[in-house]
Amino acid sequence: MIVSIVQTLVNQLNVNGITFDFGLGANYWANLVEDEFDFAAGKGLVYLDQPITTDYQLTAGGFIGEFYPITLFFMLKSELDWLPMEHEINCIEPANLAVRQFISICQDRNDLIDEVSDASALEFINLLDVNVSGKSLQIKLKPRNYPGVCTPPIPPVIP
């Protein structure tokens, strides 16, 4: 469920004409994905790191909520010989704007997300063998729970 929600949110990103495709998998698989991804001008990639964990919220009333602490890599093509300022201008700043836009979209999409919390990011330069730079975002999302996906409580066993 959270994968399709994140993909829907990523598909809405547009930072000054830069759009982002979506990928997912364990971070050690990322090189394989990046090798196949076309980092054309005006294109970036948001990569959802797996495995995805779930934090369950248990209430006295029997409701079980789900929180997903996820890590997303917002990356754009960089060059090995760039100076730090070139990474900043061409990749890190656009990735930062994409992170901020992603958080805003999460906050605005009440049809998909109930709660957004614990957001923090880390810059990276020349990650992976294809040389990408940008930001990784750690964020906790609580998707909207619809009655159709709620599980009724198990009735008590009466001896």
Write the pLDDT tens digit of every residue in 112-128: 999 999 999 999 999 87
Structure tokens at 84: 């730090």
Q: What is the CATH number of the domain that holds 61?
A: 3.30.70.1700
Domain assignment present for residue 28? The answer is yes
Domain assignment present for residue 155? The answer is no
Domain assignment present for residue 51? The answer is yes
Q: What predicted TM-score, i.e. pTM, was given to this entire model?
A: 0.85
Average pLDDT over residues 40-58: 89
Domain assignment present for residue 84? The answer is yes
Average pLDDT over residues 13-36: 79
- By residue range, what is the domain housing residue 99? 2-146
The span from the CA of 124 to the CA of 138, in Å, is 14
> H helices then E strands: how many in the chain?
4, 7
Domain assignment present for residue 132? The answer is yes
State yes or no: pLDDT of 157 exceeds 80: no
The tally of domains found in the chain comes to 1
Q: Which of 129, 127, 140, 136 is nearest to 52 (CA)?
A: 140
Domain assignment present for residue 9? The answer is yes
